[in-house]
Amino acid sequence: MRYSFIKPRKKYLFSMFTKLWLIFISFVVIALNLFNFFIIYKNSDYKNSAKELDANRAVLEKEIEKVNGQIGFILRQKALAEEIYANNIVLKDSIKNLFDLVPDQITLSRVIMKKNSLVIYGTTPTKDTFNFLLAAPLKSIFHKSNTVFYLTKGGWYNFVSTNEVIDNEVLE
């Protein structure tokens, strides 16, 4: 006896619509897990590169300190060179002024210039010529002036004039 007009069909546990949804959901879950693993990989990669950059930054900071030290040394050398250059210009002008100060009657044989003193060796026709033409300007420039004369066989005088500037730091 038959109770149905149609031939019985197999019934599946999941219908075609349910299977599609399960496939779609599993695909999404797999895709999200892959994306999660990709994010975890990139995160660890960024951490490693950040560590490398920190190490590189530390090395660069040491190099910057070294270069700053070299720059400071060069700036000190530059300042010293400028000071020497300025002193040389002053010395050059002083020597020029000294030779302009010496009259034609007096002949210089040697000049010794130090920081605070000037020693002049030379020949003059008379003591008065030296005293009026060279000693007076030297006394106006230097604090202490002393001249010693030696008579030569020709009747002229050899002289040694020692002139000193008293340093202001010594006075204080």
- In tens, the pLDDT along 117-141 reads 889 999 999 888 888 888 888 888 8
* pLDDT confidence of residue 149: 93
φ/ψ of residue 104, rounded to 5: -65, -30
Read off the pLDDT of each residue in 56-61 and give the average, rounded to a whole number.
96
* pLDDT confidence of residue 171: 43
Sequence-separated contacts (24+) of 101-109 with Cβ below 8 Å: 101/134, 101/137, 101/138, 102/134, 103/129, 103/133, 103/134, 105/129, 105/133, 106/130, 106/133, 106/134
Asked if 137 contacts 119 with a C-beta cutoff of 8 angstroms, the reply is no
The pTM score is 0.51
Residue 2 pLDDT level (bands cut at 50, 70, 90) = low
Q: Report the chain's mean pLDDT, rounded to a whole number.
A: 89
